[in-house]
Every structure is written in C-alpha cells, then in structure tokens.
Amino acid sequence: MSGLFNMHGPRWLLIITVVLASALVFGSAAEAGADTGKSDRIVSLGGSVTEIIYALGAGSRVIARDTTSSFPPEAEKLPDVGYLRALSPEGVLSVSPGLIIAEEGAGPPETIDVLRNAKLPYFEIPESYDRAGIVSKILAVGDAINEAEKARVLANALDASLGAAQARAEARGIEHRKRVLFILSTQNDRILASGTGTAAAGIIALAGGDNAVTSFEGYKPLTDEAIIAAAPDVILMMDRGGDHGAANGELLAMPAVTLTPAGKSGAVVRMDGLYLLGFGPRTADAVNDLSAALYGG
C-alpha cells in the first residue's frame, strides 16, 4: 500500500487531480446556486446498502456500485468502482458522484480520507449483525437519500418479518440447537473460520443455531485440534466456490473435518454470500432458509 499512496508518485498526483477537479465542479455549482442534479448521482459502496437503496425505490438514482453489490440483478449493469475494502479514490470519483454511501468497513482508510475530503456528501452506514442493526441500517440509508418515510415503512415491515423468522427458528431448534461452523475459506487446505462479532455469527444466531467457535473475534485460521474441539453439527459456507471454497467431497475428506459430527453426517450448507451475510432487506428470508437447512421443515 505504501506504493499506492506515495506522495511523490504519479498515482498520487492523479488522485489529487481528480479530487481537485471534483471540488471545483461542486464548489462552482454551489456558489452559483445551480441545481445540477448531482444529489441523484449516488455511488453505493456495499451490497446491503445497494439493496436497501433499490428496496426504497431509488435504484434509478444509483450511477455506480462496488463489486459486492450483486443484487438486485440490474445493479450489476452499473459501472463497478472496485471491491469494497480495496477502493481507489480516482475510481470512485471518476463517475462524478453527487453522493457517496458506504457500508462501515469500506476502505482502505487512505481512500476513505480522500473521499471524505472531496467536497461532496459522504455517508458511512454503521454495521451491526442483529435484528436492531438491520433496522438502524435501513433508517440510516433512508436519511442519506432523503427517503426517511419509505425507510421507516420498510424497516418496520422487515422488523416484523425478522421477528417471525426468529420465532420459527427458535421453535425448530428447541430440542437441540445445532452447532454451526462457518468457513470463510479453505484456501491451501487451511480452514479460515468465523469467531464472534461477524455477520456469520449474527446470522447463525438469528437462525436458531450456536456458533461453534467463540474463542476469538473475527475470522482466523483453525488448527486441526480447534476444528475437532469445535464439534460442529453443520458446516456453513458461501456458495462462491473457486479457490476459497472446497467442494463438499474435498471439504469432508479433510482429516480434522472427518472427525466432527458434521463431517460424519455430511452436513454442509451453502448459501449465496450477500443473501446470507448482507443483513439487508432479504435477511428475514435468509434466516428462514438457513433455519430450514439446519433443522428441516
């Protein structure tokens, strides 16, 4: 990263040029009192933020999105300004946004500093992986795009749906709560798994399961001994496949996995990553689907 933000390098000069140009454009419009319509030129950074904007009926105002914004399908037709946690300021600013809305955790920090100083509205939407957090996120996005009333209606409806989904999940797991191990990656035969404080831990709890790993926060590689000790009843993964997600046969053949209840029963659940971990408008459905996958019915 030090090469990217070398104050004497050509890349930094390009960033400064883009930022200054943006500042001149927005500053001139404000001084003239002109209505440029720029406030409708939204760049949405974060899959759940993009989903919420579309759910509020404001999708036509979005001009660009990040790579994680894969739903609804029409969002994928928009220009892609990069991966949420590896953004470049010149990429975001090149589309001449009037408003930037980003999930908490967008980065790197150097890029966010540039965007915050680009003389245009920048909103960071807090993340919290529980029912109240989703409601707060919807309301925050609604405030940012001046759709507060629509956001209130959507938030209330989703809160009710989540409450019902949680109740069904708790009923399904009342006799035996499943221990669930969320595996983020199996690259190089190393299992990278979720501890506490993650979207994975949050969705497992909402779906009536117990996170099998609670000894650390975030995502960390597990030793064979830790996998065996976690004793998951079910392994949960995203369905992206590729280098990061071993096929079921390969996963279940890993020596440590074969010794777990999930390995012995072949209990592996895979779901779309944004649907499962987005904590947005579809989360009540995701809770229902995950709960049914864990417990049946």
Which DSSP helix (H) or strand (E) runs through 150?
A: helix 148-172
What pLDDT, on a 0 to 100 scale, did the predictor assign at position 48? 98
The sign of the torsion formed by the CA atoms of 234, 238, 240, 245 equals negative
Residue written as token pair 């064979």: 224
281/142 Cα distance (integer angstroms):
13
151/153 Cα distance (integer angstroms):
5
111/113 Cα distance (integer angstroms):
5
Instruction: Measure the CA angle with vertex 275, ends 262 and 181; round to 5°.
Output: 20
What pLDDT, on a 0 to 100 scale, did the predictor assign at position 258? 97
Secondary structure of the chain: what % helix, strand, coil (to 5)? 50, 15, 35
The one-digit pLDDT tens for each residue of the chain (297 residues) are: 333 333 334 443 343 344 444 443 333 333 333 333 347 899 999 999 999 999 999 999 999 999 999 999 999 999 999 999 999 999 999 999 999 999 999 999 999 999 999 989 999 999 999 999 999 999 999 999 999 999 999 999 999 999 999 999 999 999 999 999 999 999 888 999 999 999 999 999 999 999 999 999 999 999 999 999 999 999 999 997 555 678 999 999 999 999 999 999 999 999 999 999 999 999 999 999 999 999 997
> What are the angstrom distances between the C-alpha of 192 and each of 30, 221, 237?
49, 4, 11
In the DSSP assignment, the letter for residue 244 is: G
The alpha carbon of residue 71 and the mean position of all alpha carbons in its chain are separated, in whole angstroms, by: 12
What pLDDT, on a 0 to 100 scale, did the predictor assign at position 18? 40
What pLDDT, on a 0 to 100 scale, did the predictor assign at position 244? 60
CA dihedral 53→57→59→65, nearest 10 degrees, is 10
110/52 Cα distance (integer angstroms):
26
What phi and psi, each to the nearest 5 degrees, are found at residue 65? -150, 170
Token pair for 77: 């037709």
pTM here? Answer: 0.85
Contacts 24+ apart (CB under 8 A), 91-94: 92/43, 92/45, 92/64, 93/18, 93/19, 93/22, 93/118, 94/18
Instruction: Measure the CA angle with vertex 196, ends 46 and 163; round to 5°.
Output: 70
Let me know if 108 is exposed, middle or buried by CB neighbors in 10 A (0-12, 13-18, 19+). Answer: middle
Strands of 126-233, DSSP E: 179-185, 192-194, 210-211, 219-221
HSE, CB side, 13 Å, CA atoms: give it for residue 149.
0
| Domains of the chain in sequence order | 10-125 (3.40.50.1980), 175-295 (3.40.50.1980)
Candidates 130, 152, 128; CA nearest to 141 is 152
Amino acid symbol at 100: I
Contact between 162 and 134 (Cβ < 8 Å) = yes
Which DSSP helix (H) or strand (E) runs through 24?
A: helix 10-32
SS3 283: helix
163/155 Cα distance (integer angstroms):
12
